[in-house]
């Protein structure tokens, strides 16, 4: 599987699109707001730059793309008004892999800019937007050209499926039944990728530049724990059932592995310190329910079904990977079964995603 070519969220604005099924991610961004606001305020108030270059890495498409950017600009605008400073100009870079639905982003850009000017008034400086297709596991920008980097729920994705996973039979990710060499291969791929990411960003950020990175992660030291792998184990159950029924070839399932690693805070800290370009300002862990609509009011009947919500959220994320490996014919059936399995488990267990958030300053 060529990850750069096939990894992207479901595009468009339809029923199975990421734009309409990314409420979990929006909740996580909202939960991370205090850390993000603190970092951008410290950045701005240290030098009061006349222009600020912001990069959102793994921006995807849909409302979350502009939600992050608008929050950052509002914080800077509030800080500059307090000291009667002229507004800086903003250069915003929106990055994701080439398969991302950039068209949907830019079709809604003029509406976003109009709303932002309406909210912040005539004193707001110009905001320039650029789409940057490419992998963040490599250089994307000129040296010393960025002030602030944001990334949420993107860095758990690896640059490639780790090598040597042939023994991970019946699984599509790390699981309790995965041999030790599989866990080691995943961890080493994460180390290689995250170290490269940090090195590239250290070249691109100005001195004193800052990053806030949010990973889908885990608290425990065990990389195969239910805390981080259960959501994929349940999808593997649906696929294995289809193998038993002859709908999917066993060999096809055994050659499919998710290119993801959900790190612990200790692993993130270790890589940052080992690479050496950044100091850690904050490192925190939070949780969000699998069903982001839990505790929400005024929901339609469909959204009161937790299994339905989680299956749609996961489909928006995983469908392109499954489609490229298994083909289109099985997709609806896989997620119908997955919805039933997830709903059953959610009725019996506490199910949460763990988020690892790190705020960094270029040393």
Domain that holds residue 133: 3-362
Q: What are phi and psi of 146, to 5 degrees?
A: -115, 145
Alpha carbon distance 53, 71 (integer Å): 15
- pTM (two decimals): 0.85
Alpha carbon distance 231, 351 (integer Å): 9
Whole-number percent of the chain with pLDDT over 90? 40
Alpha carbon distance 196, 324 (integer Å): 27
How confident is the model at residue 204, as a pLDDT?
Answer: 98
> Among 142-151, 171-180, 284-293, which range has the highest average pLDDT?
142-151
Q: Which CATH number do you get for residue 159? A: 3.40.50.150
Pairing state between β 205-217 and 146-152: parallel
Better pLDDT: 352 or 152: 152
Mean pLDDT of the chain: 84
How confident is the model at residue 299, as a pLDDT?
Answer: 44
How confident is the model at residue 22, as a pLDDT?
Answer: 54
Coil vs helix vs strand at 157: strand
> 216 pLDDT exceeds 80?
yes
- Give the number of other Cβ atoms within 10 Å of residue 51's Cβ: 12
Residue 73: is it exposed, middle or buried by C-beta count within 10 angstroms (0-12/13-18/19+)? buried
Alpha-carbon distance values, 39 to 35, 124, 179 (Å): 6, 20, 40
Could you tell me if residue 58 is left (phi over 0), alpha (psi between -120 and 50 degrees) or otherwise beta? left
Residue with tokens 């604005």: 13
Residue 248: is it exposed, middle or buried by C-beta count within 10 angstroms (0-12/13-18/19+)? buried
Alpha carbon distance 328, 324 (integer Å): 8
Count of domains forming the chain: 1
Could you tell me if residue 268 is left (phi over 0), alpha (psi between -120 and 50 degrees) or otherwise beta? alpha
Alpha carbon distance 292, 33 (integer Å): 17
pLDDT-derived band at 303 (thresholds 50, 70, 90) equals: very low
User: Tokens for 171?
Assistant: 């699984």
Coil vs helix vs strand at 328: coil
Angle between helix 63-82 and helix 23-47 axes, rounded to 10 deg: 30
Residues 1-16 pLDDT 10s: 555 444 444 444 445 4
Residues 73-125 pLDDT 10s: 999 999 999 998 999 999 999 999 888 888 888 888 888 888 888 888 888 99
Coil vs helix vs strand at 260: strand
Mean pLDDT, range 26-46, rounded to an integer: 89
pLDDT-derived band at 17 (thresholds 50, 70, 90) equals: very low
> Among 41-50, 293-302, 313-322, which range has the highest average pLDDT?
41-50
For the four alpha carbons of 295, 301, 306 and 311, in that order, the dihedral sign comes to negative
CA terminus-to-terminus distance, the chain: 37
Q: What are phi and psi of 46, to 5 degrees?
A: -80, -30
Distance of CA 175 to the CA centre of its chain: 21
Coil vs helix vs strand at 10: coil
Beta-carbon contacts of 159 under 8 Å, excluding residues fewer than 6 positions away, are: 3, 4, 135, 137, 189, 192, 193, 196, 259
Mean pLDDT, range 218-235, rounded to an integer: 84
Residues 110-164 pLDDT 10s: 888 888 888 888 889 999 999 999 999 999 999 999 999 999 888 988 998 899 8
Q: What are phi and psi of 306, to 5 degrees?
A: -60, -40
Mean pLDDT, range 50-76, rounded to an integer: 88
Coil vs helix vs strand at 359: strand
Mean pLDDT, range 294-317, rounded to an integer: 58
Alpha carbon distance 330, 311 (integer Å): 15
> 57 pLDDT exceeds 80?
yes
Beta-carbon contacts of 217 under 8 Å, excluding residues fewer than 6 positions away, are: 156, 228, 262, 263, 264, 265, 268, 285, 354, 355, 356
């Amino acid at each position: 599987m060529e990850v750069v070519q096939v990894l992207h969220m479901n595009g468009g604005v339809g029923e199975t699109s990421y734009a309409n099924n990314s409420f979990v991610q929006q909740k996580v961004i909202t939960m991370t707001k205090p850390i993000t606001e603190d970092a951008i305020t410290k950045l701005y108030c240290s030098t009061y730059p006349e222009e600020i270059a912001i990069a959102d890495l793994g921006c995807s498409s849909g409302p979350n793309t502009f939600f992050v950017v608008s929050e950052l600009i509002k914080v800077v605008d509030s800080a500059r008004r307090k000291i009667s400073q002229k507004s800086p100009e903003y250069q915003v870079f929106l990055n994701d892999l080439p398969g991302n639905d950039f068209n949907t982003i830019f079709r809604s850009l003029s509406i976003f800019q109009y709303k932002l000017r309406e909210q912040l008034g005539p004193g707001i400086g110009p905001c320039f937007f650029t789409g940057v297709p490419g992998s963040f596991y490599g250089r994307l920008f000129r040296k010393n050209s960025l002030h602030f980097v944001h990334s949420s729920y993107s860095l758990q994705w690896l640059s490639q499926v780790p090598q040597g996973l042939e023994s991970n039979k019946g699984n599509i990710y790390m699981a309790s039944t995965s041999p030790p060499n599989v866990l080691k291969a995943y961890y080493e791929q994460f180390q290689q990728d995250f170290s490269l990411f940090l090195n590239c960003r250290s070249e691109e950020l100005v001195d004193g530049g800052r990053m806030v990175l949010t990973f889908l992660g885990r608290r425990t030291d065990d990389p195969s724990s239910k805390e981080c792998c259960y959501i994929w184990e349940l999808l593997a159950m649906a696929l294995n059932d289809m193998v038993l029924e002859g709908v999917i070839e066993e060999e096809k399932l055994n050659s499919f592995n998710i290119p993801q690693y959900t790190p612990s805070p200790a692993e993130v800290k270790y890589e940052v310190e080992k690479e050496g370009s950044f100091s850690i300002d904050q490192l925190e862990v939070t949780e969000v329910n699998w069903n982001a609509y839990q505790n929400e009011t005024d929901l339609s009947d469909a959204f009161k079904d937790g299994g339905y919500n989680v299956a749609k959220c996961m489909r928006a994320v995983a469908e392109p990977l499954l489609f490229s490996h298994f083909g289109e014919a099985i997709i609806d059936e896989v997620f119908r079964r997955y919805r039933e399995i997830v709903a059953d488990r959610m009725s019996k267990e506490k199910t949460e995603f763990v988020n690892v958030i790190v705020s960094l300053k270029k040393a």
